[in-house]
């Protein structure tokens, strides 16, 4: 099928301002729960989100990361602080998150400001991960150029024997980020491209709701 011919019609549900909770985090949790359907294929990761970051000159990059918690209304993920995203966030904390739940014909966009998680929380989470993931995080200088995969594997094997039956320390440059949202948008696909979009904007502690044109 050609790209021109690829299109779907969306007709599963609608969304109005009166359908949604006054608190966008509660609304997010409602949709997130609905996205976790038991019969989904194994490869679907409903907590996968596109994270967009930008440097102070406005150069934007995006990639997938996994949502690992929502605490106090903040959205948490883990990464390497010295990676490209880490360097951009250090210089410019404004980020956006985007979830696509195709099986529900839904998208959620979140904008906000990212800060580093509390160190103890990062260390605790690091140690809750499988040992292979801990070693992987230790070995990888994320986003730097490397000569070969073999070098990574050698370093991995070296560390594996160095820390055999010992706790692997959480690398200083690895840990959590918390995104404090200032804007949410809940998008529900509708027929004829007349999609429903409900947007929340934060003004101090208050959220104001509006409907956006598709
Ligand atoms: C499904 C999926 C989940 C991912 N989860 C994470 C994650 O939680 N944290 C992370 O740092 N990278 C994650 N990655 C890798 C990132 O997409 C990216 O390659 C990496 O973080 C380097 O990005 P950067 O060079 O822009 O900093 C994931 C990739 C995929 C496809």
Domains recognised in the chain with CATH numbers: 7-128+171-212 (2.30.110.10)
Evaluate: CB of 60 within 6 angstroms of ligand 1. Answer: no
Q: Write the burial class of residue 116 (CB in 10 Å: 0-12 exposed, 13-18 middle, 19+ buried).
A: middle
**Which value, to the nearest 10 degrees, does the dihedral of the CA atoms of residues 160, 155, 66, 57 take?**
150
Best mutation site among 63, 66, 75, 136 for ligand 1 pocket (most ligand atoms within 8 Å of CB): 63
For residue 62, give the ligand 1 atom closest to its CA. 26
Q: What is the pLDDT of residue 205?
A: 87
Q: Does residue 213 contact residue 196 with C-beta atoms inside 8 Å?
A: no
For residue 77, give the ligand 1 atom closest to its CA. 8
Determine the Cα–Cα distance for residues 205 and 207; give it in Å rounded to an integer.
7
CA distances to 20, 23, 48, 194, 211 from 186, in Å: 9, 12, 16, 14, 10
Provide the whole-model pTM. 0.97
Q: What is the pLDDT of residue 115?
A: 98
Evaluate: CB of 84 within 6 angstroms of ligand 1. Answer: yes
Best mutation site among 47, 66, 91, 125 for ligand 1 pocket (most ligand atoms within 8 Å of CB): 66
Active site residues: 193
Ligand 1: distance of its center to the CA of 64 in Å? 5
The residue among 17, 2, 11 whose CA lies nearest residue 197 is 17
In the chain, the DSSP E strands lie at 48-54, 60-66, 69-71, 74-80, 94-101, 106-116, 174-188, 196-203, 206-212
For residue 86, give the ligand 1 atom closest to its CA. 27
Q: Does residue 140 contact residue 80 with C-beta atoms inside 8 Å?
A: yes
Can you give the pLDDT of all 214 residues of the chain as single tens digits? 999 999 999 999 999 999 999 999 999 999 999 999 999 999 999 999 999 999 999 999 999 999 999 999 999 999 999 999 999 999 999 999 999 999 999 999 999 999 999 999 999 999 999 999 999 999 999 999 999 999 999 999 999 999 999 999 999 999 999 999 999 999 999 999 999 999 999 998 899 999 999 9
Q: What is the pLDDT of residue 94?
A: 98
């Amino acid at each position: 099928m050609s790209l021109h011919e690829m299109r779907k019609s969306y007709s599963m549900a609608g969304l109005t301002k009166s359908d949604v909770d006054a608190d966008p985090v509660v609304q997010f949790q409602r949709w997130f729960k609905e996205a976790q359907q038991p019969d989904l294929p194994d490869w679907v990761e409903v907590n996968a989100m596109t994270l967009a970051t930008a440097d102070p000159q406005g150069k934007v990059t995006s990639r997938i990361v996994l949502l690992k918690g929502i605490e106090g209304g903040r959205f948490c993920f883990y990464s390497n602080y010295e990676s490209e995203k880490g360097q951009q966030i250090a210089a410019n904390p404004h980020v956006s998150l985007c979830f696509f739940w195709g099986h529900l014909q839904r998208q959620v966009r979140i904008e906000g400001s990212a800060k580093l998680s509390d160190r103890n929380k990062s260390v605790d989470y690091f140690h809750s991960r499988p040992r292979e993931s801990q070693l992987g995080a230790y070995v990888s200088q994320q986003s730097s150029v490397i000569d070969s995969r073999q070098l990574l594997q050698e370093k991995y094997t070296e560390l594996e024997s160095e820390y055999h039956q010992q706790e692997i320390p959480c690398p200083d440059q690895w840990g959590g980020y918390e995104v404090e949202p200032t804007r949410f948008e809940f998008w529900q696909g509708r027929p004829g491209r007349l999609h429903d979009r409900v947007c929340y904007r934060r003004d101090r502690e208050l959220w104001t709701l509006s409907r956006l044109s598709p």
